[in-house]
Structure formats: C-alpha cells, structure tokens
Amino acid sequence: MALGLLAGAAVGITGCTNLDETLYDQLNETNLDFTNPTDISLLKGQAIAQFRYFHESWFGYFHQAEMSTDIYCVPQRIGIGWGDLYILHHRHTLNYNDGMSENNWGYAYNCIGYCNRVLDAMKNIEGSQEIDEAERSQVRFFRATIYWYLLDMFRNVPLETTMEIEDGYLPEQNTAQEIYDFCVSELTEIKNTIGTEHVHGYPNKYACCMVLAKLYLNRGVYLGLSDNTEGYEAALAEVNTVIDEGGYSLATNYLDNFREDISDSPEVIFCNPGDRTHAITFNLHTYLMPQDGLTAYGCTATATNGSNAIPQFVDTYDVDDSRFDDTWAHGIQYAAVKDANGDYVPQSGDPIPFIEDDWSGTGYLNYNRNVHSIDGAYQQEGYRLHKYEIVSGNFGTSADDLCIFRLADAYFIKAECLLRLGRDKQVAADLVTQVRQRAFSSNSSKATRTVADLEGGSVYNYGLEYYSTFVDYTDWTSPVRTHEGGADIELGGLFDDLGWEFACEEHRRQDMIRFKMADGRSVFTGKSYFCKEASTDNHWEIFPIPEAQMKANIKLKQNPGYTGAE
C-alpha cells in the first residue's frame, strides 16, 4: 500500500484547524529517499504529528474521552447550537456512524502507517548506515501507545506492523488479547533501549512504564477478566520504577502542569508539546465559554460557548480544595488587565458586562452552577474549564502543551494497586495525601486521606438531575431528580480523588469503566448523572467501529450492541 493512501486522509481532516503546519500528503515513494535518514526523519515527524492530532484535534480523543463521563459535557446551547453527537456521547446512545470514532480511528491508523513506514525504512538500510536504536524505539513507542488507545476504545482492531503489503490487501481484525499482547511485548522490549533522558515531548523509559501500567491497570476490563490480580501486580512494578528511578517530583503548583509551556514542570513524564508556529492544534478554548468569557484572560480568539462541568461533579469538591478554582471558572467573570510589564493578568479588572440570558440579574457574565438539560442550556449555564492556560492575544489554548502522564498519576496507580491487592494500605493513603497537600495549603489538615476514606463510598450524588422544560433561562419549574448516591462504589473515596486531581485529563472514562459498584456494574454503565440514565448494558464501554471503516473492509466485524454498516 502506498503511504499516501493511509496518510492522505489526515490532511483533509486536520488542514482546516491546523493551517500553519507543514502538510505531508505528498510524502511518498516518488519524492522521498527511504534510504536517507533526513527523509526518514520527516516521516517520523509526521507520525508524531498524527499522535498529537489524535489527542487534540476537533473531535479528537480528548473530547471523546471526556464527553461521556460524569464530569464534562457539551449541551445543546439555546440560540447557539452544539448538541448533536455530544448529546449521544453524554447519554451513551451512540450509533455506528459516530464522528468522533471516525476521526480518532483515522488519526490512529495514520500515525501507525507513518510509524510502520519509518520502521520499514530503518530495517531496509541496516548494515549500510548506523541506525540509532533509541530513535527506532521512540517510533515503536508511538505505535504501541496508539494501539493501546485503539484497544481501550474499540478492543478488536487490525494489527498492522509494516507497509510492505500487496495491492488489494485488507487488514484482518485482531482480538483484544492479541492487541494487548502486542502492546505489552513492544513496550517491555523498548523500555530498555529508548533511554532515560528527560527530553520535552519525547518518550523515554518511564513513559513506557506509564503506558504499561495503564494497560495492566485496565487489563481486566480490556480482556473481560473477573480477577485482575496479575495486572495490579504488574502495574505496581511499572510505577515503582517511575517513582524510584525516574527523577520526577510533584510540581509546587498544580497549574504548573497545564501552562502553555510545561517543559519546566518536574512532574511531567510525557506530553504532546504545542508551539505557536508549528503546532497550534489544541483549540480547546473554542469549546469553553462565550466570546466575552475570553476577555477574562485577555484573549481575542474565537469562542463558541459549548462545554461545561456537570453540576453534580462540581458539588463534590471540598470548599478548601484549590483545584476547584484552578479547574473551573465560576460566578462573575472579570476582565483581564495588563500589569506593569504589559502582560495580561486574568480576572483582575472590572466585571464583564453580559446581558443575554442574565439569570443572575447582575448585568455581568456570571457562570451558573445549574444547567437545564443536555437538550437545552442557556449561555451562562454551567461552570467552565480553564485548567489549561488560556493565553492572551489570539492563541487561547491552541499552542498549549498537553500533559499525557505525570508523577501524580504514578502515585495514584500505586495507591490503587496496593488497595486492590490488600497490602501496605497506609502507604496508599500516604501517597494520595502527598498529592493532595498542594491543594489544601489553606487548611492542611484536610489533605490527609485515611485508608477508610479511600475504601469508603463516593461523595458524588449520582442520579438524574435536570429540567424537563426550559421556557426561558429563568424557568426552573420542572426538575427531574432521582437519587442513587455513591455509597455502593468500591474504593469510592479513591475514585473521587482521581476525579479531583485528573479532571479533564483523558482519565475519567478509563477510571469509570474500571471502578465497580456492589452489583458488579461499572460506574460508567451503572450510574445515572445529569441526563444520562443508569443501564445494565455494558456495550457502551466500547465505541463503535466507524461506518466508513466497516464499509471499506469486509473483514471487520462491528462491536456488540451496535448495528449497521456491516
């Protein structure tokens, strides 16, 4: 298969949101010398770019990983738009032609195609030129990590490791076990050859350990196992290597991990680096708030007022937890003002005038905790994510680095494994406490979490919570309320802490499908929240194989519970 057949689709998708990047749709056998290390490096660069597009593009993995959870959603904005597939994701009522699945399948296999072409070229020039084994291992890292995401999202997917194939070739569909085994084998092998140096945006041994730990942690879910003791032991070993050998430390400030440039954070193990000239992919700010809301950050980029926090989740924070203010913009918003150095200071000026849908009667932009429904929300409804730095000028979040793994994650994985394995439980509680300490500087006693806290139930007030009619933004007369609570969630206290620490970091769905209720259902399936109803049908834990892929390859079988396109 020619490289362009696999890579060309990516250009059509990304070009509209990434115009400043070099486009590689014409990189192929006619204009590249696959025995030339410089040309090979161009292909490697595009493999890495596709990895970034996968996470950060419109309809990318960031959004797909968050929209179906109990933390974050995009409702139909009355008079504005949105809704559509975002509603389907929230309600867990997807069908086989889901646009996010289509995008992310495409980006994933574009990345894999470039990785395979690079590895084929490296293999073919062995003996005539020296090949840097660490560089080869980096390419294998990106390929194996993308396969982990495909496993997590779709389970049974084609496993392709070369581009040296015959015309007319159609990939076979591999089992989840085969994809899992490939990822584990690749990452285990390359972590001894990839190196240990900390280079911003490039993987090292400890990034490999983190992907392995994630695979092992959810091994029971991915492979349908009732007992994941083996997986917890293996995950524990991987994060112990990170903690003991990696040389990472917790950042002093929580938000140091979410600045536009996080290269100085001692906590970051691996990230997608952004760049104002070459990598302006992470346009998260366009979802977050109304145009006037960006005034709070001195930002002039375009905003379209989409997403908000789910009200029940914001209610779970302790009043002294600084991560609440660090993560969510709420209440009256104030304009950014320049300081003596000419830099904008967010939320430092006068209240921002805003009279549309003025539920508060103040005449100012004032984000409301309440949200009518996933089917209808007014402009100021819902707290807004501002955890990722919104930069002044016309950039917003577009050039932000996106942290994929950080040390706090390794601490939490260790804590969870110890609790699930039933040993060194106080060590687990101490690790969670250590991470919490920077969030409770105003009341340090609240940072402490006991074993009983972590093993207890969740404080999340699960159940439906919305309004069935919305005549206007002052109409709150038709509430729908059910009560399920979180007392029946195993390790519910730890589950809560994961939510507070890693809100909107591509974590929550993976956690929700792993944590169980007393009746054996996952939190993802078994709990109601906002407008999403509880279910006994767990097929929503896997996304549908996209319609276009099913039509293009007769060897693919749709995931259970989804019909059509076969």
More confident residue, 167 or 565: 167
Task: Answer whether residue 213 shows pLDDT above 80.
Answer: yes
Q: What is the DSSP string of 538-564?
A: GGGGSPPPPHHHHHH-TT--PPTT--S
* Confidence label for 33 from pLDDT (cuts 50, 70 and 90): low
Residue indicated by tokens 């076979």 = 172
CA dist 483 → 71, 90, 196, 370, 538 (Å)? 17, 19, 49, 17, 21
What integer pLDDT is reported at residue 40 of this predicted model?
A: 80
**For residues 379 and 357, is the Cβ–Cβ distance under 8 A?**
yes
Measured between alpha carbons, how far is 39 from 27 in angstroms, rounded to an integer?
A: 9
Residue indicated by tokens 């440039």 = 261
Could you report the per-residue pLDDT of 147-159, keeping only the tens digit for each? 999 999 999 999 9
**In the chain, % of residues over pLDDT 70:** 92
What integer pLDDT is reported at residue 128 of this predicted model?
A: 43
CA dist 335 → 110, 275, 332, 379 (Å)? 42, 26, 10, 18
Q: 439: which DSSP letter? A: G
Please give the angle made by the CA atoms of 23, 26 and 30, to the nearest 5 degrees: 150
**In the chain, % of residues over pLDDT 90:** 84
* Confidence label for 6 from pLDDT (cuts 50, 70 and 90): very low
What integer pLDDT is reported at residue 564 of this predicted model?
A: 61
Q: 224: which DSSP letter? A: T
**Mean pLDDT throughout 330-342?**
96
Task: Answer whether residue 5 shows pLDDT above 60.
Answer: no
What integer pLDDT is reported at residue 309 of this predicted model?
A: 98
**Mean pLDDT throughout 386-406?**
96
Three-state secondary structure call for residue 119: helix
Sequence-ordered list of residues with C-beta below 8 angstroms from that of 349, at least 6 positions apart, any chain: 334, 335, 336, 337
Three-state secondary structure call for residue 477: coil
**For residues 449 and 437, is the Cβ–Cβ distance under 8 A?**
no
Three-state secondary structure call for residue 455: helix
Sequence-ordered list of residues with C-beta below 8 angstroms from that of 51, at least 6 positions apart, any chain: 111, 142, 145, 146, 272
**Mean pLDDT throughout 440-461?**
97
Length of the chain: 566
**For residues 120 and 163, is the Cβ–Cβ distance under 8 A?**
yes
Could you report the per-residue pLDDT of 44-99, keeping only the tens digit for each? 999 999 999 999 998 999 999 999 999 999 999 999 999 889 999 999 999 888 99
Measured between alpha carbons, how far is 408 from 220 in angstroms, rounded to an integer?
A: 23
**Mean pLDDT throughout 381-399?**
96
What integer pLDDT is reported at residue 28 of this predicted model?
A: 52
* Confidence label for 34 from pLDDT (cuts 50, 70 and 90): low
Sequence-ordered list of residues with C-beta below 8 angstroms from that of 375, at least 6 positions apart, any chain: 75, 76, 83, 87, 531
Could you report the per-residue pLDDT of 85-139, keeping only the tens digit for each? 999 999 999 988 899 999 999 999 999 999 999 999 888 776 544 568 899 999 9
What integer pLDDT is reported at residue 165 of this predicted model?
A: 87
What integer pLDDT is reported at residue 174 of this predicted model?
A: 98
Taking 3-state DSSP, the helix, strand and coil percentages for the chain, each rounded to the nearest 5, stand at: 40, 10, 45
Measured between alpha carbons, how far is 174 from 157 in angstroms, rounded to an integer?
A: 5
**For residues 461 and 486, is the Cβ–Cβ distance under 8 A?**
yes
Measured between alpha carbons, how far is 389 from 557 in angstroms, rounded to an integer?
A: 42
> b/e per residue, 329-349, with b = 16+ CB within 10 A?
bbeebbbbeeeeeeebebeeb
Tokens of 550: 């099913």
Q: What is the DSSP string of 392-423?
A: TBTTBTTT--EEEEEHHHHHHHHHHHHHHHTS
What integer pLDDT is reported at residue 301 of this predicted model?
A: 94
What integer pLDDT is reported at residue 543 of this predicted model?
A: 96
Could you report the per-residue pLDDT of 169-198, keeping only the tens digit for each? 999 999 999 999 999 999 999 999 999 999
Residue 331, beta-bridge partner list: 367
Mutual angle of helices 176-190 and 205-217, in 10-degree steps: 150
Measured between alpha carbons, how far is 443 from 36 in angstroms, rounded to an integer?
A: 59
Mutual angle of helices 407-421 and 492-502, in 10-degree steps: 170
- In this structure, whether the domain defined by 1-194+550-561 belongs to CATH 1.50.10.20 is answered with no
**For residues 43 and 121, is the Cβ–Cβ distance under 8 A?**
yes
What integer pLDDT is reported at residue 130 of this predicted model?
A: 56
Measured between alpha carbons, how far is 516 from 522 in angstroms, rounded to an integer?
A: 4
Could you report the per-residue pLDDT of 417-428, keeping only the tens digit for each? 999 999 999 999
CA dist 459 → 262, 419, 509 (Å)? 32, 19, 18
Query: Average per-residue pLDDT in the chain?
Result: 91
Measured between alpha carbons, how far is 397 from 391 in angstroms, rounded to an integer?
A: 6
What integer pLDDT is reported at residue 124 of this predicted model?
A: 78
Distant-in-sequence contacts of 388-391, Cβ < 8 A, 24+ apart: 388/258, 388/282, 388/284, 389/255, 389/258, 389/259, 389/260, 390/285, 390/288, 390/294, 390/297, 390/299, 390/346, 391/260, 391/297, 391/299
- Could you state, in order of their start, the residue ranges of all structural domains in the chain? 1-194+550-561
* Confidence label for 168 from pLDDT (cuts 50, 70 and 90): confident
